[in-house]
Amino acid sequence: MIVLGIETSCDETAAAVYDGKRLLANVINTQEIHKRYGGVVPELASREHLSFIVPLVEEAFNKAGVGWDQIDGIAVTRGPGLVGSLLIGISFAKAAAFARNIPIIGVNHIEGHLWAPVFEYPELKSPFIGLIISGGHTQLWLVHDFGKYTLLGQTFDDAVGEAFDKAAKMLGMGYPGGPVIDKLSRSGNPEYHHFPRPALKNNNYNFSYSGLKTAVLYFLNSLHPDEIESHKADIAASFQKAAVDTLVEKTFRAAHELKVPRIVLGGGVASNSALKIQMTARTESKGIELYIPSSQFCTDNAAMIAYVGYRRLMRSESDGLTFSAEPSFHGLSLS
Ligand code: KG4
Ligand code: ZN
């Protein structure tokens, strides 16, 4: 069975072709237009998806060496995400499924992130703890098996990627902020200033990042501009350490308390180098397996959507043509 995967939930237009064994194509267009606004502008994102979706699917078909005749099913992100953006992918997918008379699956984007390591780590087994961290999400999941998930905790307020983006903005750096803070932090001292680690001591698996953002603002306001300039890397590294410490602590607490010996990271923030170093050190000392996809599979992509769609199509599932976009999709089956 050959599946076309489509992802348009935020600012990446992506298409992939997957045959259950090999990823035949995985193409993406990251929208550059938002950089000048310092964040994703939803209306612009929808318009960009509209201009890119057809050429991207054609590019994916060319790379995979297939045409519509070979496509047995379509998987498309149903949510969570920006409603206008989701609707472009869903409308395209439904039109194609109708015209070709093939089944369609509306995939939960988070479920895609949870399984994204399979392309590089085909040996990945469940159960595992999944930490999904991006500009829109900070969630900790217990994955019992394919299709069986428990949400252990999530952020009360800002997502961790959002905190990176806002901290970078306050430091006068570009968007997206995560990669610039990551790079700058390599030459900084993470012990320069102790920022708060909200929710770290709470006896649950939830997170909170808006207090950290405010703490950065207050700290910067307390400094002379020259001091900020000469300690930019130290401030970035101290912020990053605070952001990462809570992620590492809560993820390992979940693995320990629930006796699950595997951890999966997903979402754009999973490519953070300090996080990778801390996670790797802890997993090695505790004998836990760690799965971090490379950045093409950490960030939004259509391969992960095609994978989930493939598994569900193999179970003879189909969502039909009447499902709608779910901007705050909670549709993972909770056990
Ligand atoms: O998963 P993603 O590409 O898109 C969504 O938000 O859905 O994640 C983007 C987020 C942004 O907030 C960006 O600043 C953050 O991931 N990010 C990073 C790094 N690379 C991307 N945060 C920290 N360190 C990084 N290396
Ligand atoms: Zn995502």
The 10s digit of each residue's pLDDT in 128-159 is 999 999 999 999 999 999 999 999 999 999 99
Residues 225 and 247: their CA atoms lie apart, in Å, by 31
> How is residue 171 written in tokens?
């430091």
Given this model, what pLDDT does residue 44 score? Answer: 87
Determine whether the shortest distance from the Cβ of 178 to ligand 1 is under 6 A: yes
Contact residues for 171 (Cβ-Cβ < 8 A; gap 6+): 181, 220, 228, 232, 235, 236
User: Contact at 8 Å (CB) between 310 and 18?
Assistant: yes
Look at 59-68, 192-201, 269-278 and tell me which has the smallest mean pLDDT: 192-201
Determine whether the shortest distance from the Cβ of 10 to ligand 1 is under 6 A: yes
Delimit the domains of the chain by residue range: 3-114+297-314, 125-292
Q: 0.85 exceeded by the pTM? A: yes
> Please, which pLDDT band fits residue 335 given cuts at 50, 70 and 90?
very low
**Residue showing tokens 């000392």:** 285
326 φ, ψ to 5°? -125, 90
Report the separation in Å between the CA atom of 103 and the middle of ligand 1, taken as the mean of its atom positions: 32
Query: Could you confirm whether domain 125-292 is CATH 2.60.40.10?
Result: no
Contact residues for 20 (Cβ-Cβ < 8 A; gap 6+): 1, 3, 310, 314
Determine whether the shortest distance from the Cβ of 198 to ligand 1 is under 6 A: no
Given this model, what pLDDT does residue 84 score? Answer: 94
pLDDT at 66 over 90: yes
Among protein residues, the one whose CA lies closest to atom 8 of ligand 1 = 268
Burial of 218 (0-12, 13-18, 19+ CB in 10 A): exposed
Residues 25 and 302: their CA atoms lie apart, in Å, by 10
Burial of 124 (0-12, 13-18, 19+ CB in 10 A): middle
Determine whether the shortest distance from the Cβ of 293 to ligand 1 is under 6 A: no
Q: Which amino acid is at 134?
A: S
Query: Of the ligands numbered here, which is closest to the C-alpha atom of 135?
Result: 1
The predicted-structure confidence for 226-274, as pLDDT tens digits, reads as follows 999 999 999 999 999 999 999 999 999 999 999 999 999 999 999 999 9
Q: Which amino acid is at 71?
A: I
The predicted-structure confidence for 92-135, as pLDDT tens digits, reads as follows 999 999 999 999 999 999 999 999 999 999 999 999 999 999 99
pLDDT at 288 over 60: yes
Determine whether the shortest distance from the Cβ of 165 to ligand 1 is under 6 A: yes
Determine whether the shortest distance from the Cβ of 267 to ligand 1 is under 6 A: yes
Q: Give pairs for 88-94: CB < 8 Å, separation 24+.
A: 88/8, 88/46, 88/49, 88/50, 88/53, 89/6, 89/7, 89/8, 89/9, 89/13, 89/49, 89/53, 90/323, 90/324, 90/325, 92/6, 92/53, 92/54, 92/57, 93/6, 94/321
3-114+297-314 and 125-292 share one fold: yes
What's the mean pLDDT in 166-175? 93
Query: Of the ligands numbered here, which is closest to the C-alpha atom of 299?
Result: 1
Determine whether the shortest distance from the Cβ of 176 to ligand 1 is under 6 A: yes
Among protein residues, the one whose CA lies closest to atom 21 of ligand 1 = 268
Which one of 3.30.420.40, 1.10.30.50, 3.40.640.10, 3.40.309.10 gives the CATH number of domain 3-114+297-314? 3.30.420.40
Query: Of the ligands numbered here, which is closest to the C-alpha atom of 168?
Result: 1
DSSP string, 163-215: HHHHHHHHTT--SSHHHHHHHHHTTS-TTSS----TTSSSSSS-B--HHHHHH
Q: Which atom of ligand 1 is nearest to the CA of 176?
A: 14
User: Contact at 8 Å (CB) between 217 and 169?
Assistant: no
Instruction: Using alpha carbons, select from 212, 109, 117 the residue that is nearest to residue 155.
Output: 212
Instruction: Name the residue of 82, 164, 186, 298 whose CB sits within 8 Å of the most ligand 1 atoms, as the mutation to test its pocket.
Output: 164
